[in-house]
Amino acid sequence: MAPIEPIAIVGASGQLGAALVAAYAGRALLAPPHRELDIEDGAALEAFLTASRPAVLINCTAFHNVDECERLPERAFAVNALAVDRAAALCAAARVAFATMSTDYVFDGALGRPYTEADAPNPLSAYGISKLAGELLVRRHGPAHYIFRLSGVYSALGTSNKGYTFVERVLQQAERGEPLRIVRNMTFSPTFAPHAARVIRDAIDARAYGTHHVTNAGATTWYDFAAAAFARAGLAPAVEELQYDNYGSAVKRPLYSPLASTTLAAAGISGAPTWEIGLEEFLAGRAARKAALA
Ligand SMILES: NC(=O)c1ccc[n+]([C@@H]2O[C@H](COP(=O)([O-])OP(=O)(O)OC[C@H]3O[C@@H](n4cnc5c(N)ncnc54)[C@H](OP(=O)(O)O)[C@@H]3O)[C@@H](O)[C@H]2O)c1
């Protein structure tokens, strides 16, 4: 199969975007920064597609601060749904395949087993609703699209709108000897961005259009994820267990939203390794960066 090139990535400075840039090393790649191409600016996006003629546009942008989305649903819909819809329409008109990212938060967490691509969404939050709206809007522009649902993404970078990712933040708190309080009753599939990027690249190279769940394999709670990181990093902080009170909180979140994929294997694409392997790679990179700075 001929390689899909050139590849264009919007949101390339983010956790997943940067990991995709690395995964596509050596390939023809366009990665305009946010200041040059805003996904909400349809005219700028159309001009970019006309000038650069990518074979696929990969959208890694999002407004994904879940609390802020609840407070500002119009912004959540502008970035996560309406801009995604417009981008998909422009790509369809220009015969450019379109890939966009979604989330485990499209599910309500009530199923009691990991969600596959065949399970029905039922988002609880403005963020999840806006991402599901983005999915539905994309699907109506024809089959040449990919929707990749991720969960608990982390990398060395952290996110621009949330700051350090959870694991980096709790490791730093533990290193400073600060008290920690971590949620125990919320289960998900932590996903190391470089592992997700490899799967996404392979799915696009295989032209495996459709909706795919892309996470590290397995599931854990935020508390146990942090405990695994502390144990591997040689830290033993005191940690108070919290229960996320779904119904007392301003934002309802799924309490059990691990993702599993049936579609990737059917398309001959190997999934990401376990979350423990993802965590170990993250920690090895972190230790190497610290040693280089010392
Ligand atoms: N992080 C998670 O835990 C998680 C979980 C499930 C799904 N996802 C989904 O995965 C995708 C990638 O997430 P991530 O963690 O990599 O996010 P991230 O690190 O916050 O990166 C977002 C990127 O989008 C850019 N951006 C934001 N608004 C933009 C706009 N209007 N126009 C152009 N660029 C814009 C940001 O640039 P600036 O920094 O310059 O603004 C940044 O490069 C998102 O769709 C997200 O919803 C994430």
> HSE (CB half, 13 Å, CA atoms) of 107?
27
Largest CA distance in the chain: 56
Alpha-carbon gap, residue 88 to 95, rounded angstroms:
10
Q: Is the CB of 130 under 6 A from ligand 1?
A: no
Q: List the pLDDT tens digit at each of the 294 positions of the chain.
A: 777 889 999 999 999 999 999 999 999 999 999 999 999 999 999 999 999 999 999 999 999 999 999 999 999 999 999 999 999 999 999 999 999 999 999 999 999 999 999 999 999 999 999 999 999 999 999 999 999 999 999 999 876 666 789 999 999 999 999 999 999 999 999 999 999 999 999 999 999 999 999 999 999 999 999 999 999 999 999 999 999 986 667 799 999 999 999 999 999 999 999 999 999 999 999 999 988 988
The DSSP secondary-structure symbol of 201 reads: H
Joined together, the tokens standing for residue 172 give: 């730093």
- Give, using CA atoms, the residue closest to atom 15 of ligand 1: 15
Alpha-carbon gap, residue 93 to 117, rounded angstroms:
27
Task: For the full predicted model, state whether its pTM sits above 0.85.
Answer: yes
Joined together, the tokens standing for residue 85 give: 């819809």
Joined together, the tokens standing for residue 238 give: 């005191």
Nearest partner of 37 among 22, 55, 54, judged by Cα: 54
Task: State residue 160's pLDDT score.
Answer: 66
Catalytic residue of the set 115, 127, 154, 223? 127
Domains of the chain (ranges; CATH) run 7-158+192-216+255-272 (3.40.50.720)
Q: Is the CB of 65 under 6 A from ligand 1?
A: no
Strand partners, 239: 180
E strands, 204-258, are 210-213, 220-221, 239-242
Q: Is the dihedral of CA 197, 38, 164, 25 positive or negative?
A: positive
Task: State residue 248's pLDDT score.
Answer: 66
CA angle 14, 120, 204 (to 5 degrees): 40
Please report the atom of ligand 1 found closest to the CA of residue 101: 45
Please report the atom of ligand 1 found closest to the CA of residue 162: 20
CA angle 182, 183, 189 (to 5 degrees): 110
Strand partners, 192: 154
- Give, using CA atoms, the residue closest to atom 44 of ligand 1: 62
Cβ-count burial 224-238 (b if 16+ within 10 Å, e if not) = ebbbbbbeebebebe
Contact yes or no for 219/255 (Cβ under 8 A):
no
Query: What's CA 158's distance to the chain center, in Å?
Result: 12
127 assigned to active site: yes
Q: Is the CB of 39 under 6 A from ligand 1?
A: yes
Task: State residue 287's pLDDT score.
Answer: 94
Task: State residue 111's pLDDT score.
Answer: 98
Nearest partner of 52 among 101, 91, 1, 79, judged by Cα: 91
Helix (H) or strand (E) holding 10: strand 7-10
Between the CA of 162 and the centroid of ligand 1 the distance, in Å, is 10
Q: What is the separation, in whole angstroms, between the first and last Cα of the chain?
A: 46
